[in-house]
Chain A
Amino acid sequence: MQFMLLFSRQGKLRLQKWYVPLSDKEKKKITRELVQTVLARKPKMCSFLEWRDLKIVYKRYASLYFCCAIEDQDNELITLEIIHRYVELLDKYFGSVCELDIIFNFEKAYFILDEFLLGGEAQETSKKNVLKAIEQADLLQENIDFQMRLFAGMVVPNMASESSGLFQN
């Protein structure tokens, strides 16, 4: 995969992941043109289109368009499955995900994507394993944050169930 873009029906970018080196100017140009092209397509049209010399695979989920640019030899149908898998992961993580979740927690959307795809290829084909990894990484972050806040005297240690769970592995 060369890049993945998420954008709303109004053309606002919600996530951009680039796997090829391009200047900021080029990225902006590509984004602008591609968003325009995809938004111009009618609802029942094919999910695949040829744009410049790339194959574009896109799918709309509610108010968000998920758009990927793949190489010539890549399988378009499996790319649709990859997009679907990513949406499922977001859904599981946020609990019935909507566009607002991705706006206000964009960094998490990136973290989830980075646990699923690496360098443009799928790294983990089991949904369960991806979610588990995110969970663990989040815990690691919480753990350290909690310890820091503890150290700074901002939090009084509390043996209630919510906090005790943090020290278990």
Chain B
Amino acid sequence: MSPSVPLQEMIRAIRSARTQCEERGVIQRECAAIRAQFRQADNGGRSHNLAKLLYVHMLGYPAHFGQMECVRMIASPRYSEKRVGYLGAMMLLDEKQDASLLITNSIKNDLSNSNQYIQSLALCTLACMGSAEMCRDLAPEIDRLLRASNSYIKKKAALCAVHIVRKVHDLGELFTKAARSLLTEKNHGVVHGAVVLITELCERNSETLERFRKTVPDLVQIMKGLVISGYSPDHDVAGISDPFLQVRILRLLRILGRNNEAASDAMNDLLAQVATNTDSTKTVGNAVLYETVLTVLDIKSESGLRVLAVNILGRFLLNNDRNIRYIAMTSLQKIVGTDHNAVQRHRGTIVDCLKDQDASVKRRALELSLALVSASNIRSMMKELLSFLSSCPPELRSQTASGIFNAAERYAPSQRWHIDTILHVLTTAGGDVRDETVPNLIQLITNTSELHCYTVHKLYRALLSDISQQPLVQVACWCIGEYGDLLLTGECQETEPVQVTEDYVLDVLETVLQSHMSSPSTRGFALTATMKLSTRITENVDRIRSIVSIYGSCIDVELQQRAVEYNALFKKYDHMRAAVLERMPVIEKNSQGHTNGETIKESQTVKVKPGEPQQPANQVQANAAFYTVFSIVATVTVYEKDGVTVTLSCEKQSDSGLTVTLTASNSTESDIRGFTLQAAVPKSVQLHMKAPSGDSLPARGTAKLKTRADMSEVYETKVSPVTS
């Protein structure tokens, strides 16, 4: 075909432009000329002009004024003009443009043209950009062509039908019969088209799927023909006969065999044959094997065949070609749940892939490795995962860290190992862990009382070397605040003890407080820890006093508030200080699961003494304390004065919900009328009080008044003192 000279000249002119500006100039001139020519009468150069416009469009310049020209060209009797016109339609007219409807009639006419190449243009365009309306209009035509035309047209009509079905699902019914009969044709292109069409129909409609199950024997026959047949030059690719058709048939068999014993049985032998006989030295063979494996694993295949499939994937994992390794891991990921043991056998290779250069392969290997962690391999797997964490690409760090935490939580062989692992992650990838890590770790540490000494030593040492990783620093500060006294004893069973004085410990905390690397919440941790140490050390309490009073005028409001309160604790409520700053009890896992790090660090056990008035300023009451109290004590008397007694009993409803029943009784001689009970809770708790059973308390405790209240936790970031 001779090249279009005007087009090539223009392309040359555009390419020789030296700057973007020059190029724009050339294109503007050309477009103006093209527009002028469009307006003129037919001059034999129309197809060249449209081709020029399409080139300009591909460079990214606007070309919408060519849309009508496409419509006109499609209607032209000349083949060269039709060809470019249809090309233009596919490039400029998508279904969202109104002008696309205008070509429906032309397409309809061209579909019945005596020349198959013109029919072909129409079919191609319809299949590429046909809107739902156009599809509805032209579906009967396509059906007709599916039945009565030559193979060249039939194969195109089949794929056009696929597009129609994708756009208008109901029209699937129309093509079912024709699709069935196309399977018996000899022409590969037609059979391929038929298989694609049947696949589409079966995926959309389960009834159609049932009907097409009957074709399984035919499909098996066709596959056998392809696999066993001798060399067929027309369709051979590196020794495989028509791999494109093979892959499509295997995919259709997968859909037909899924959840169906009979169909799966019928294809069992064939799949075994393909799996064993296909040459896997080139990509094309592996493409067929890959599809075979996917099919075997998805249908109800017998166990021998499944093992064969997983072994093929295992071989893929060892392939030099990175693409094949990637594919293998993607497939193994799909079956790691169902065929866990089979996949475990390849764990070594998968873990090796963590060291691959390619980020996609690394990601796959990570997901698969995390899925393969179990109680028996946790130690070795964790070693690999931790070493991966220190060198993995930044986009994978967060996922790796969470994966490691989950695995550690489920399979930790010992508490110490668990704590060590988490600390390792925090030192390596502290910036990429999720928010709940800090409270979770604190909870874990608190509950592992036998390791308090060990933990505080490790964290102290970690702080000495690096105070930039915020989660680690926060946990370390909290720990030192709680267990700092263990540091000062100079003894430790599990690890080398440090020889420090109280000043050294306070130095470390002060460094964190003053460092510009510390976030506001970290500084809060440090301040509270410093305060807690006032009851655990003996000599330097004055130093703590002065630190606390300095921060009373800190710009950060949160720190200031804390400092002021701690100051008050020193000055006015010194007698309560020891009790308030006592060691934390074991935290119940359920009730703490969702609280934010901020509130956990505030946890102080408040002893609720019955009858004592609440003091506002010195009670930094937190959710933890709230729940701790209520989960330990079942019924408590909260008010007893002038003969009126109010008791409170709690019942846990859920992880974050509690039902409290308040019972009031009157032991005086006269009835009390107009009795109301009011309750207030911290902002972090939601309270729903139900109506009381009455408002009068009869004398001498003859009857009691009950009020129920439901409390649930609200996730808040700040804790405010109880004020009533």
Residues of A bordering B, CB below 8 Å = 13-19, 21-23, 28, 42, 44-50, 73, 75-78, 80-82, 85, 103-108, 110-111, 114-115, 118-119, 121-129, 133, 136-138, 140-142, 144-145, 148, 152
Contacts and interface: CB of A to CB of B under 8 A. Distances in A.
A27 to B, nearest CB: 9
Residue in B3, B117, B234 whose Cβ sees the most chain A Cβ within 10 Å: B117
Interface string B527-565: 000000000000000000000000000000000000000
Given A46-B326, A75-B290, A136-B117, A126 B358 contact: no
Contacts of A13: 58-60
Interface stretch (B30-38, B240-248, B624-632): B240-248
Main secondary structure of the interface of B (DSSP, over half): helix
Contacts of A75: 247, 251, 287, 290-291, 294
Contacts of B322: 44-46
Contacts of B324: 77
Interface of B: 1-4, 7-8, 11, 15, 44, 51, 54-55, 58-60, 78-80, 83-84, 87, 90, 94-96, 115, 117, 120, 123-124, 127-129, 131, 152, 155-156, 159-160, 162-163, 188-189, 192-193, 196, 234-235, 237, 242-245, 247, 251, 283-284, 286-287, 290-291, 294, 322-324, 326-327, 357-361
A121 B159 contact: yes
B244 A82 contact: yes
Contacts of A107: 4, 7, 51, 54, 84, 87
Given A21-B96, A50-B360, A104-B8, 10 more contacts: A15-B58, A42-B357, A49-B360, A76-B323, A77-B284, A77-B323, A108-B1, A121-B159, A126-B188, A137-B120
B245 A125 contact: yes
A123 B244 contact: no
Residue in A49, A105, A119 whose Cβ sees the most chain B Cβ within 10 Å: A119
A40 B196 CA distance: 35
Contact of A118 (B15, B159, B291): B159
B235 A125 contact: yes
A38 to B, nearest CB: 12
Contacts of B290: 75, 77
Contacts of A105: 3
A158 to B, nearest CB: 15
Nearest to B58: A13
B83 A45 contact: no
A23 B38 CA distance: 25
6 closest residue pairs by CB, A with B: A119-B127, A77-B287, A138-B1, A118-B159, A119-B163, A78-B287
Contact of A144 (B4, B58, B80, B90): B80
A138 B80 CA distance: 9
Given A78-B243, A81-B283, A141-B79, A122 B192 contact: yes
B192 A123 contact: yes
B234 A128 contact: yes
